[in-house]
Amino acid sequence: MSRARPHRSGVRAAALIVVAFVAACATTARDGLDVAQLPVDVRPDYALFARRCSKCHQLARPLNSGIRDDAMWAGYVERMRRQPGSGITRADTVPILRFLHYYSSTTLAAARAPDAGSR
């Protein structure tokens, strides 16, 4: 049984996808954080966090998780560390948790700022 070969509509669909993708490239959104905006002493911790935690999922997953509590982060990172092939050692959890503490405290502070609701 012979089925139809790719035809013009296929080419048009491919072109549409390319155009949509290129147009959407105007976005400046990013999955992680802008390293240049981080304090110098936090950057190595963020780099390790980004390297380890982007292996299996987007960085937005932990960053958007809404977790603000250090103990909850500790449990979260422990769960990830025990994932098969995570590549996260116990030693890695220290700088990762240090970064997450910084991230939580700064985003929490920003959320509590008086003009946070107007932004």
Partner 1 sequence: MKMTGRPARLALIASALGAAALLRAATADAIERNFAGSAQLDYFFVPSETGGPGGRTAFDGFTSEVALKLAADVSDHLSANVKVCYGCHGFELPMAYFDFRVADELVIRAGRFSPSFGAFNIRHDPANHVTSDKPLPYDMGRMLRIADWNLGVLPSPFPDNGVEIGGTHWFGERAQLDYAAYAVSGFRAPTGSNDLVWGLSQTRGGNMIDNNGRPAGGGRVATTFRIGEANDLTIGGSVMAGTWDPSNRFYYLIAGGDVSARIGRTQLRLEYLVRRQTFAPPPGVPYKLVVPPSGEESFEKHGAYLEIERTMSETVTLLVRADGLYRAGNLPVTSPLAPRAAVFRYTAAGTLALAPGFRLKASAELWAFTNDVPVHQDLEAAFHLAVVGTF
Residues of the shown chain interacting with partner 1 in the complex, contacts defined by CB under 8 A = 1-7, 9-10, 13-14, 16-17, 20-21, 24-25, 27-32, 34, 51, 54-58, 60-61, 63-67, 69, 71-72, 75-76, 79, 82-87, 89-91
The tokens 């920003």 sit on which residue? Answer: 110
The distance of closest approach from Cβ of residue 113 to partner 1 in the complex, given in angstroms and rounded to an integer, is 19
The distance of closest approach from Cβ of residue 102 to partner 1 in the complex, given in angstroms and rounded to an integer, is 17
The distance of closest approach from Cβ of residue 9 to partner 1 in the complex, given in angstroms and rounded to an integer, is 4
- CA Rg value for the chain: 20
CA distance to 80, 97, 98, per residue, from 74 (Å):
10, 7, 10
Residues 76 and 65: beta-carbon distance below 8 Å: yes
Q: Which is nearer to partner 1, 69 or 113 (CB)?
A: 69
Those residues with Cβ within 8 angstroms of residue 7's Cβ, 6 or more apart along the chain or in another chain: none
